[in-house]
Chain A
Amino acid sequence: DIQMTQSPSSLSASVGDRVTITCRASQSISNFLNWYHQKPGKAPNLLIYVASSLQSGVPSRFSGSGSGTDFTLTISSLQPEDFGTYYCQQSYISPRTFGQGTKVEIK
């Protein structure tokens, strides 16, 4: 199985800060990497698909990059509603593994 490792596991940042979360795959997954945001008690919400495509309706402050094994999710200017946990997921091959999550807190 492909292992997905996110870093950091948690972070605390202020409104307006630029935030970067990384995701590393244990083998190449081309660009089959997706990012989700989950708020407590809610279902995950798709942000970015195939590494860098912004899902419809998602604010443009979210962006994704990378290919192969190393990927990045960037929030250009953190907003209060961006708190929660972010997950990467590979869709290159079954099983469709997720990263362990990055918890984002607002200072």
Chain B
Amino acid sequence: QVQLVQSGAEVKKPGASVKVSCKASGYTFTDYYVHWVRQAPGQGLEWMGWINPDSGDTDYVQKFQGRVTMTRDTSLTTAYMELSSLRSDDTAVYYCARDLLRGGDFDQWGQGTLVTVSS
């Protein structure tokens, strides 16, 4: 079955970087985009951007430009999201999600990775 399995929780100090992985299985990894969405504690969903696993092309929301990098390793069928210069307000659960390219919806989600930024 289709699965997106993310890496475990992280605790980082302000100014550090974090890299979250998203391992895809059960489908052809390069056929569909992977998006990243985050959710701060008690807050709503915030879209961060996407990566085309086939070409490596990316699109990031303006807010994260310069701080976020989305990459992939097709041999490992894994997508990565790295966020740098972490601040306390980056504390959130980070999700990866699959886009079937039929209308832009996200039909499968990872379980989420909690990133805590604290001194």
Interface residues of A (CB under 8 A from B): 31-32, 34, 36, 38, 43-46, 49-50, 53, 55, 87, 89, 91-92, 94-101
Contact = CB atoms under 8 A, between A and B. Distances in A.
Contact of B106 (A46, A92, A99): A46
Interface string B24-46: 00000000000101000000111
Given A34-B104, A45-B109, A101-B45, 6 more contacts: A34-B105, A49-B103, A87-B45, A92-B104, A97-B47, A98-B44
B47 A46 contact: no
B82 interface: no
Interface string B41-79: 000111100000000000101100000000000000000
Interface residues of B, number: 20
B44 A94 contact: no
Contact of A50 (B35, B37, B103, B106): B103
Given A95-B61, A96-B35, A34 B45 contact: no
Q: Find the residue from B102, B104, B105, B109 having the highest chain A CB count within 10 A.
A: B105
